[in-house]
Structure 1
Amino acid sequence: MRVGTYKGHVIAVLLRDEHCPPHVHVAGKDWDARFRFSFLDGDVELWDVDPERRRPSGAVLEGIRQTLRQRHYLARARRIWWEKLQTVCLDNHSWDWEADEVVPGLVIRRGVYVIASARHDVAGRRTILNLVRAPGSVEIEL
């Protein structure tokens, strides 16, 4: 599904056989690129370009990245991903209560809680984490 465009390049979330981490696809004439995004913050990063030998200029890739970082495009990408795939890709991760951040993997130590479930609130533009045996849930404003 189309998220937006940058200089004629369509930025889209593909829905067939999609997988974590959350990302969009951009097809050029001779190349395809993927950009990762998050349900935790506004970061967007280039994931890969295929084939690498046909990689477009850094300015084109950065322009696409900056376009996707715009609040309305990122919100649309998140909405499409959540509504169609029903995941924010935080399964099998943990939350460090004191550091206020996700810890990769299932970590067992004081102040770190396993993420039991996570969901995206499209209307509220937030991610909600339900944690195992934690003092409460976590709401991350986007």
Structure 2
Amino acid sequence: MKVCNHKGLSVVIMLRDEHCPPHAHVEAGTWSARFRFSFWHNGVELWDVVPLSRRPSLAVLEGLRQSLQQPAHLRRARGIWWRKLQTACLDNQLWDWQSNEVVVVKRVVSTTNMIGSACYEPESNKTLLSLIGTQESVEIEL
């Protein structure tokens, strides 16, 4: 499903056989790219381009990334992903209360709790995290 366009290229969320992490696709004939997005922050990053030998200019890739990162486009991408897959791809990751972020650590520290489940609310553009081992939950306004 189309999220947005940038200079004649469509940024889309595929609706078949998708998998985590959340990402959007750009198919350009001679190359394709994927851009990762998140349900806990508003950043977008280039994930990969194939084949690498046909990679477009950095300006094209950056333009696509910036287009997807526009608030309305990112919200649309999240809504499409959530409605189709019913996952924010955050379950069983660690939330750090001190830094307010999902962290990758080798050991659990006193400021982290494992995310038991995550729910995205497209209407309010919020993600709700239920954390294991605490009665508190986290509400992230995006």
TM-score tier, shorter chain, comes to: over 0.9
CA offsets, 1:63-91, max 9 Å, x none? 10110011110000000000000101112
Matches of residues 1-142 of structure 1 in structure 2 within 5 Å? 1-104=1-104, 108-142=108-142
Unaligned runs of 5+ in 1: none
Q: Which moved more, 1:24-33 or 1:102-111?
A: 102-111
Unaligned runs of 5+ in 2: none
Tell me how far 1:107 sits from its aligned partner.
5.0
Tell me how far 1:108 sits from its aligned partner.
3.3
SS in 2 for 1:16: coil
Contact 2:6–2:64 under 8 Å retained in 1:
yes
> How many residues matched?
142
Tell me how far 1:135 sits from its aligned partner.
4.3
Tell me how far 1:42 sits from its aligned partner.
1.1
SS in 2 for 1:24: strand
SS in 1 for 2:99: coil
Q: Which moved more, 1:66-75 or 1:104-113?
A: 104-113
Identity across matched positions, percent? 54
RMSD, matched Cα: 1.4
Tell me how far 1:31 sits from its aligned partner.
0.4
